[in-house]
Amino acid sequence: MSRQHEILPSIGIIGGGVAGLVTAISLQDAGYDVHLYEKTEGLGKETCSWFAGGMIAPWCERDGADDLVRDRGVESLSWWAHHYDGVQQQGSLVLSAARDRSEILRFSRRTQQHETIDEARIAALEPALAGRFREGLFYPKESHLDPRFALPALEQHFLKAGGAVKRGYEVVADELKEDIIVDCRGFAARDDLPRLRGVRGEMIRIHSAEVNFTRPVRLLHPRQPVYIVPRAHGVLMVGATSIESDSHAPVTVRSAYDLLEAVQRLHPALGEANIIEVSAGVRPAYPDNLPDIEQKGRVIYANGLYRHGFLLSPWCARKVVELIGKQEGKAA
């Protein structure tokens, strides 16, 4: 519905990570005039979203998370499918070594929307794993994307629809002229949001000439679970640690060792893969590990996406749109 005849508040978004971009587009879809301010000149290093696996996995993520993560995450599948044509709708695969079968049983009890699959089906889905695992779980409705393509594509989508992006601007809300400011600075908003903490996530990108996958593969293990998300041209993203720390320091020897050891348990030939990147990001998290929308004056904070920035930013953005819509109603 066109809202051109209405006088709508102008919106400024601070932060061009996944939360900022998804919120910017959702507000634009609702008819608002939106300007986005991002401190980095180009996407990369300082943006937690750049290092993410990009798994949109509401059912798998129910393991170790609240029901709300699943329920709020399901809507993101259609959001992404409508706004980014690079989404891979291939499902997810969850495996464990035969001796860790209790892990698969536990995971299966805690999650829904999966099929228990045997060795032949595993081989049909992921030929590289033929003969390696007797049993697994397949989540056919889940999807994944590569953040390093998805984030620039979202920015282009926003620009083409008339949005304005100012890169290289490290701003504070007080200096912005828009009627409403949505603060999506991730962990950088810690000074304004004392409940926010950092959860460090380390990841490694490898290239294998021998082993590749079509969908995210999670290998359960009592101590060191690991996941691999396929990227283009034989690249695999291996993740991720989850450490209570807001350190942006380089990846530690212990974390790199643990992740790479786990990868070889998935397939020994991955021992021959080349390491092409080792990086760490700091996930912004609240004490309950759920995102939250909080308003102080004309500033709305959308933050706390923790391990679920791609999964939950469409829900978060919808809440921001509803909040702004309600305030317009009150003002009318």
Ligand X SMILES: Cc1cc2nc3c(=O)[nH]c(=O)nc-3n(C[C@H](O)[C@H](O)[C@H](O)COP(=O)(O)OP(=O)(O)OC[C@H]3O[C@@H](n4cnc5c(N)ncnc54)[C@H](O)[C@@H]3O)c2cc1C
Q: Given the rule CB under 6 A, which residues bind ligand X?
A: 14-20, 37-40, 46-49, 51-55, 170-171, 184-186, 188, 201, 203, 239-240, 281, 283-284, 303, 305-311
Q: Closer CB to ligand X, residue 95 or residue 229?
A: 229
Query: CA-CA distance, 259 to 203, in Å (whole number)?
Result: 8
Q: Closer CB to ligand X, residue 184 or residue 299?
A: 184
Kindly report the three-state secondary structure assignment for every residue of 100-160. Answer: HHHHHHHHHHHCCCCEEEEHHHHHHHCHHHCCCCCEEEEECCCEECCHHHHHHHHHHHHHH
Q: How far is the CB of 212 from ligand X (least distance, A)?
A: 18
**DSSP character at residue 245:** B
Q: Closer CB to ligand X, residue 134 or residue 244?
A: 244
Q: Closer CB to ligand X, residue 91 or residue 239?
A: 239
Q: Closer CB to ligand X, residue 123 or residue 290?
A: 290
Residue 99 CB: number of other CB atoms within 10 A? 8
Query: CA-CA distance, 200 to 214, in Å (whole number)?
Result: 27
Q: How far is the CB of 218 from ligand X (least distance, A)?
A: 11
Query: CA-CA distance, 11 to 29, in Å (whole number)?
Result: 13
The residue number with the shortest CB distance to ligand X is 17
Residue 264 one-letter amino acid: Q
Q: How far is the CB of 316 from ligand X (least distance, A)?
A: 9
Q: How far is the CB of 3 from ligand X (least distance, A)?
A: 26
Q: How far is the CB of 283 from ligand X (least distance, A)?
A: 5
